[in-house]
């Protein structure tokens, strides 16, 4: 009896070991590429949302880490630097909940006005919610608004048949504005 | 099965006689969920073909070393390993990964793959198991492609692949229901009925009333 159990366990162990080694190898092969892709996507989004104020985005990992304690959905913070290296705005990469998760970048200038929105990834229903996330007319509405909290259907028009997504994106922008307020209050 | 098993026969049966989706009706959830876009279906199909073929081969190779009591855990380890490989590889193509998202890891529990491992590969020759994997995998992919073409074209009015519009009906006033879940069921039911009709017409003597 003990011998059978030992026998079975050993065979299972061997299979698992082989699988683990194989997976470990695959992971080392692709790890850097995955991280690089994620970083690239975030940096591109930050660049896009800060382009209106011609700021150069610089990822600030320390700032991200300290803010993440307060804002759990914050993924990354980029400081928008002007030619002389002063911070003239921020790009916040964060995730918000529409019908599913939406990862987006929101640019905020020194006055707390939104400079642009870029949707990094969205898992919204294709043909319905995703329409809002891909619609420049909808995303453009946020430009220049803030720093006060925005209300959907008052400050910005929702996209019909994509209400959840419209709400999710609005909430994301509001969160970015909140992070901005937190940051600028601390500076005072 | 009385007839001699030929490699080609093993391959072709996955397409028609035991098509995993339309005849066996297994692995439906992922197919209903992702058949909203042709592009996603191509990648999902490739992922399933890869996992199914590789796990069939491995399981057939080690079939004599696996004790009966622990065969299911071993199948799952083998399948999960291949799925993780696909998952990691696809993560390097973010545009695709964000669409397929959760459905790739869920291939582990896709009934098609476990059913083929348990019901076929664990008692078949390696070459047969490989052809079975390819056939069933391609059968799955074909149905997925047909469904997604119907749903994307008539649900959104156009087919977009790799950010290029391939076909456009020139209007976006289309029945959105096709993109939603009811549309998946309707398309699937029609396809399944079509295959049944075709098979009954081919072999009227088997029908038997």
pLDDT by residue (tens digit) across B153-192? 888 888 888 777 878 877 777 788 888 889 999 999 999 9
Assign B75 to helix, strand or coil: helix
For every residue of A13-35, which 3-state class applies, written as one string?
HHHHHHHHHHHHHHHHHHHHHHH
Q: Which residues pair with B167 in a beta bridge?
A: B159
Question: Quick one: closest CA in A to B67, which residue?
Answer: A8
Nearest to A174 by CA among A119, A120, A94: A94
Higher-confidence position of A143 and B199: A143
The interface residues of chain A toward chain B in range 73-102, judged by CB-CB distance below 8 A, are: none
**Which residues of chain B have a CB within 8 Å of the CB of A33?**
92
Tell me the pLDDT tens digit for each residue of A41-96: 889 999 999 988 888 888 888 888 899 988 999 999 999 998 888 899 999 999 99
Instruction: Write the ipTM.
Output: 0.73
Closest Cβ–Cβ partner in A19, A26, A37 for B78: A19
How far does A32 lie from chain B, in Å, by closest CA? 9
Residue A83, pLDDT score: 86
Nearest CB partner across the interface for B179, out of A15, A33, A128: A128
The residue among B40, B65, B98 with the most chain A CBs within 10 A of its CB, best to mutate, is: B98
What pLDDT is stored for residue A34 in this prediction? 85
- Output the CA angle B188-A100-B144, nearest 5 degrees: 20
Average pLDDT over residues B69-91: 91
Confidence of residue A186 (pLDDT cuts 50, 70, 90): low
Measured distance CA(B179)–CA(B33) in Å, rounded: 9
Q: Is B163 on the interface with A (CB under 8 A)?
A: no
* Contact call for A11 and B65, based on CB within 8 A: yes
In this prediction, residue B2 has a pLDDT band, given cuts at 50, 70 and 90, of very low
Taking the C-alpha atoms of residue B54 and residue B134, their distance in angstroms, rounded to an integer, is 9
Inform me whether the C-beta atom of residue B148 falls under 8 Å from chain A C-beta atoms.
Answer: no
- Asked if B77's CB is within 8 angstroms of A11's CB, the reply is no
Query: Comparing A1 with B90, which gets the higher pLDDT?
Result: B90
CB atoms near residue A66 (< 10 Å): 12
Q: Which of A15, A121, A128 sits opposite B98 (nearest CB)?
A: A121
Say if A127 is an interface residue toward chain B (CB within 8 Å).
yes
If you average pLDDT over every residue of chain A, what do you get?
Answer: 89
């Amino acid at each position: 009896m003990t011998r059978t159990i030992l026998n079975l366990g050993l065979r299972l162990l061997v299979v698992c070991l082989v699988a683990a080694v194989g997976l470990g190898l695959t992971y080392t092969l692709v790890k850097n590429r995955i991280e690089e892709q994620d970083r690239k996507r975030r940096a591109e989004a930050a660049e896009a949302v800060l382009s209106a104020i011609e700021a150069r985005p610089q990822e600030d990992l320390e700032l991200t880490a300290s803010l993440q304690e307060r804002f759990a959905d914050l993924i990354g913070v980029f400081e928008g630097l002007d030619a002389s290296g002063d911070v003239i705005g921020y790009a916040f990469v964060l995730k918000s909940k529409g019908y599913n998760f939406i990862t987006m970048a929101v640019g905020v200038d020194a006055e707390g006005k939104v400079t642009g929105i870029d949707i990094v990834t969205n898992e919204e229903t294709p043909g319905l919610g995703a329409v809002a996330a891909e619609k420049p007319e909808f995303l453009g509405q946020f430009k220049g608004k803030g720093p006060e909290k925005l209300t959907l259907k008052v400050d910005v028009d929702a996209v019909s048949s994509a209400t959840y997504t419209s709400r999710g994106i609005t909430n994301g922008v509001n969160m970015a504005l909140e992070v901005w307020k937190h940051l600028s209050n601390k500076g005072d | 099965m009385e007839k001699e098993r030929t490699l080609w026969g093993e391959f072709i049966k996955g397409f028609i006689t035991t098509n995993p989706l339309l005849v066996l009706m297994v692995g439906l959830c992922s197919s209903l969920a992702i058949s909203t876009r042709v592009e996603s279906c191509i990648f999902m199909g490739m992922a399933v073909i890869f996992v199914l073929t590789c796990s069939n081969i491995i399981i057939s190779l080690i079939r004599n070393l696996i004790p009966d009591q622990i065969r299911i855990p071993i199948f799952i380890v083998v399948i999960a390993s291949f799925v993780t490989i696909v998952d990691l590889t696809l993560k390097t193509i973010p545009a695709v990964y964000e669409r397929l998202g959760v459905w790739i890891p869920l291939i582990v529990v896709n009934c098609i793959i476990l059913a083929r491992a348990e019901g076929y590969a664990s008692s078949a020759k390696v070459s047969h198991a490989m052809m079975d994997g390819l056939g069933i995998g391609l059968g799955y992919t074909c149905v997925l492609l047909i469904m997604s073409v119907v749903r994307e074209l008539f649900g959104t009015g156009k087919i977009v692949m790799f950010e290029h519009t391939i076909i456009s009906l020139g209007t976006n006033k289309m029945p959105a229901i096709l993109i939603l879940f009811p549309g998946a069921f309707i398309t699937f039911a029609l396809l399944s009925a079509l295959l049944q009709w075709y098979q009954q017409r081919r072999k009227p003597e088997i029908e038997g009333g």
